[in-house]
Every structure is written in C-alpha cells, then in structure tokens.
Structure 1
Amino acid sequence: MYVTSGSALTAPSTDAAAVVAELRDRAEIADALYRFGLGQDLKDKELFASAFAADAELDFRPAAAKWGARPPLMSGRDTIVTTILGMFTGRVDTTHQVTNARIAVDGDTARLTALVEAQHLLTADPTRHALLKNPYDVELVRDGDRWVIRRLVIDNTWFVGEPTAIFG
C-alpha cells in the first residue's frame, strides 16, 4: 500500500530537464489529492470533480469497517461527486489536511500514499463530530498536463467522535 522508495526523485540530478519534468509531475500528482480535499471542504463541485478520472473508483470501505459501516464501492466520477457532496452539503462541515505524501511515477501512471486528517462536524450540532486519521492509497493517471485519481482507497488508523453521526 505504501510508496516506500528510499528517495524522492528518480531522475538523475545531472539531467535538469528530467528533474524539472519529474518535479512538475509530482506537484500535479499531489494537487489531485489537494483538489479532492479542498473540493469537499468548499463544497465546490467543479474543483472536487477535477480530482477524478471519468472512470474513477473511491473505496471508503476499509475506513468505514473500523466503526461497523458498510458503504458501497463508488464507481465513476459523477457518482463519487454526487454521493460525497450530496451527503455533506448543508449538513457536514469538513477540513482535510494532507501530510506525508509519497509519490512513485511510472510513465503515465502514478501511485501516491499519504496520511489525511479529516475533521467532520455536523452543521446543525458541531458538538457531534468525527476526527479521522486515514492512510490514503491513490492510483493516478496523466490527463494532459495534470493528473487525476483513477482509484482511491481510504483506510483508517484511528478516529475520535461519532463517525456514525456523520456517515451513517
């Protein structure tokens, strides 16, 4: 699940063009995950949708299993956007913080692992909340000059609060 290579870049330091290209890819790869988080936090449909490939999959089942929930595998960008934003907009305020990103690029595909701390508060009663620390395993594909998520698996290391109040 984790990207565990012993260095950040694979391009030889003597090849400036290759280093720049790899750094651009890595920035765009990380940005796909940032668009995922901020799109949710702002309830911005366009920004959130821009994180995903049309045939993307979002698998929240490993995380939800920690508190006994059984959500379906979400398939397709439109389904993911409609489901997540529909579940949160007007009901749940969120903040997502991405840390410890590790990236491996292989041509037009990439793998990203990161830790995401996600705070969820019920809008009507902010005393009901769930704070989650989730490892993310992300497969991405190149889409022109940017990268998009093809598959995202979210696990959970720990949580506090009431995830069932947020997610059901």
Structure 2
Amino acid sequence: MSFPTSLSSLPQREAIVDALYRCVLAFDTADLPLLESAFYPDATFDMNGAVMAGVPAIRTGCYDKVSKLDTTHFLSNVRVNLVEGENKAKVTASALAQHYRPGQGNEPGATRLMSGSLYFVDVEKDESDGGLWKVRSWKMKLVWTEGDWGVMTEN
C-alpha cells in the first residue's frame, strides 16, 4: 500500500501537521517514500537522546525496525507555532504507539509494547518540492512504556 506524499488544498496549519502524519503513517504501513517525503535529507531525529542525523540514519536506526512490526501511532494535542509569513514552524504533540511482533497484532494475548511520548518538531516549507512541509528536526521524549521491550528487538 502506498499513500500520496502530498495532499491538495490543505490549509497551512494542516499542511504543517501533515509532515508528522506522513512520518507516523509511514512507520505503520512500511511506506518508505512517504517517510522520505516527511524529512529533509539532512534532518535529525532524536529519540530520548539517541540522535540520528540524515534520512539514511533515521531509516537504519528506527524505521527499518519499527516498520516491520504491527504498529499504530496516534497523535493528539497537536499545537503549531507559526509566525505569519514565515516558512518555519514548531509543532508539539502527544503520541501513543502500540507495537506487536510481525503478524501478531491480532492475536489475543500477544506480547506488546505500548508507549506514550511527547514530540517537539521543527518543520520548514520546502519550496523546491512544491511547498511541501518537511521535518528539519524531531525530538521524541519517551514518557512511559508498558509491556515487553523484546517486541522491538526480537523480529
């Protein structure tokens, strides 16, 4: 399954938040082009102090592991701080993620790892890519987890 990397006629704030939605949907559906559309090539992703610099590092350090799992990521409490006329914005969000081993998401009693996080994301409008908003830096603060961390390492 593949999703479009840009949607037509989005109001500016929705277009900004869409960068985050593209990223988490890419993890949940293993859609690499969608992931790549969400980040500048030299973007950084900081997961609790483990910093990945550049899309190749984000891919090998996080995406390649998580996208193989049965996952869902939900964003809420999304706030956008945009100065009118600027092509940069700061976005904060709360996130809930559920992770199951591949093919086990629908099995009753399957081992899982759930997490709650806070996201702090700097985005910029990429005029060279049709005005698509993309992540420049993403900081994820893992607040809590419940379940088995082995889900993340035992594929």
Q: What is the TM-score when the length of structure 1 is the normalising length?
A: 0.74
Aligned positions, number: 137
Q: Which residue of 2 aligns with 1:134?
A: 117
The aligned runs of 1:141-160 (5 Å cut-off) are 141-144=124-127, 145-160=131-146
CA RMSD of aligned residues (A): 2.1
Q: Which residue of 2 aligns with 1:166?
A: 152
Answering whether residue 69 of structure 2 is matched by residue 86 of structure 1, we say no
Deviations 1:63-115 (A, max 9, x none): xxxxxxxxx3100022212432321344x111011111000113111000001
What residue ranges of structure 1 are gaps of 5+ in the alignment?
A: 1-22, 63-71
Asked whether the equivalents of residues 129 and 166 of structure 1 are also in contact (C-alpha less than 8 Å), the reply is no
How far apart are the structure 1 equivalents of 2:92 and 2:67? 27
Q: 1:76 aligns with which of 31, 41, 54?
A: 54
What residue ranges of structure 2 are gaps of 5+ in the alignment?
A: 1-9
Structure number with bigger Rg:
1
- Equivalent residue letter for 1:93: D
Q: 1:51 to 1:105 in 2, by over 3 A?
A: same
How far apart are the structure 2 equivalents of 1:56 and 1:75? 6
How far apart are the structure 1 equivalents of 2:51 and 2:143? 20
Q: 1:89 to 1:154 in 2, by over 3 A?
A: closer
The aligned runs of 1:1-168 (5 Å cut-off) are 24-62=11-49, 72-90=50-68, 92-106=69-83, 107-123=86-102, 126=105, 127-144=110-127, 145-166=131-152
Asked whether the equivalents of residues 49 and 78 of structure 1 are also in contact (C-alpha less than 8 Å), the reply is no
Q: 1:85 to 1:156 in 2, by over 3 A?
A: closer
Q: Report the CA distance between 1:138 and its aligned residue.
A: 0.3
SS in 1 for 2:59: helix
Q: Report the CA distance between 1:167 and its aligned residue.
A: 5.1
